[in-house]
Structure 1
């Protein structure tokens, strides 16, 4: 089961602030789920979760718009917050004194019988990860891959060359029909995005 809540707020980095709508993904079963990217509105996320048990709150990366409801949601649903440690510097901009549980590449998370494998995909952020659920035919990419191309790399702690390498080696190697559930906007499929790699490279940085 895959559910989505769209929440709205702001993203701030490098002295700028932008209005954003975020996809919050809830994955699992009728009894147990995990939440991917607790953004902006813990109340709305908790309401959609309902009485299901939350095994974890997983952060695809630590930009503030993807984690700013994580602590509140964790308190409401009594679940750990998981983040790749390479994003510690970004995490501490929002939560200077709040611990998290470290995610590792290749780690398998489970909720309601669904297994999701952690793929470390740096570039948009040093600790960016995607979560691949083969039995669902889906990958949750945060801000690493969108419909139409890679995530932004024009701000601190990001790299265009690194995100292209991550997408090429970790995502475009997945089955072409794999549905890509993104951190913002509409979903896409791996096969559709793979056909545009040369265009992304030509656009460059």
Structure 2
């Protein structure tokens, strides 16, 4: 069956097979419905997890005996790292986060961040490279990861910075919203093509092309 990206907590995973990577999407916690993404290099078997959000009992069987080399936390909010301590304790994976959010993640989880990253840094999984794009606004150190598939279109993991229908919440902070919408417009929509498929921290996926017409409305409404 083709990949849709529509998953629900307690339901089945969805798996996308690229020429070089496998992307496994799972939703955890019925209350927050967070998405977690296991990215596997098809050549080496090396694995990377984006957001150990919750339910280590769900995540660890997905990781399986192949183990885990890296866990990337997209931002500091509590619902995106509740399983971080358990996953790292079981796998000894290297932890990665945006530099401005790293201390808060460690304070909340007790897990040190081994590597802090910002714009232009690269996180590897096997022989594949995912580039870091820092998006400020939802939190000070939120990051996205983009994989430019040599056999297809880019794949973008957006955390809570971009969703179908709008950018992430800024909780009434007008300055934070201005920064967020500017970063999303210039660093994501201004750089990446319409066929870029993006994978958000909650809910369904979309493409930049499907969402691009909404940018003026998002900016005008202020959320």
Q: Scaled by the length of structure 2, what TM-score is found?
A: 0.82
Q: How does 1:3-152 map to 2 (within 5 A)?
A: 3-8=24-29, 19-30=31-42, 31-88=45-102, 90-95=104-109, 97-101=110-114, 102-135=116-149, 137-152=154-169
Counterpart-to-counterpart distance in 1, 2:25 and 2:117? 22
Between the two proteins, the alignment pairs up a number of residues equal to 195
Unaligned runs of 5+ in 2: 1-21
The question of whether the paired residues in 1 share the 8 Å contact of 2:102 and 2:113 is answered with no
The question of whether the paired residues in 2 share the 8 Å contact of 1:86 and 1:126 is answered with yes
In the alignment, which residue of structure 2 is the partner of 1:14? Answer: none
Partner residue of 1:163 out of 180, 183, 190: 180
More strand by share: 1
Aligned-pair RMSD on alpha carbons?
Answer: 1.9
The question of whether the paired residues in 1 share the 8 Å contact of 2:46 and 2:69 is answered with yes
The question of whether the paired residues in 1 share the 8 Å contact of 2:84 and 2:111 is answered with no
Give CA deviations for 1:125-171 in whole Å, capped at 9, x if unaligned. Answer: 00000000011620000000001110111168x81011101101111
The question of whether the paired residues in 2 share the 8 Å contact of 1:116 and 1:133 is answered with yes
The answer to whether structure 1 residue 199 and structure 2 residue 217 are counterparts is yes
Partner residue of 2:204 out of 157, 170, 186: 186
Q: Scaled by the length of structure 1, what TM-score is found?
A: 0.88
Unaligned runs of 5+ in 1: 10-18
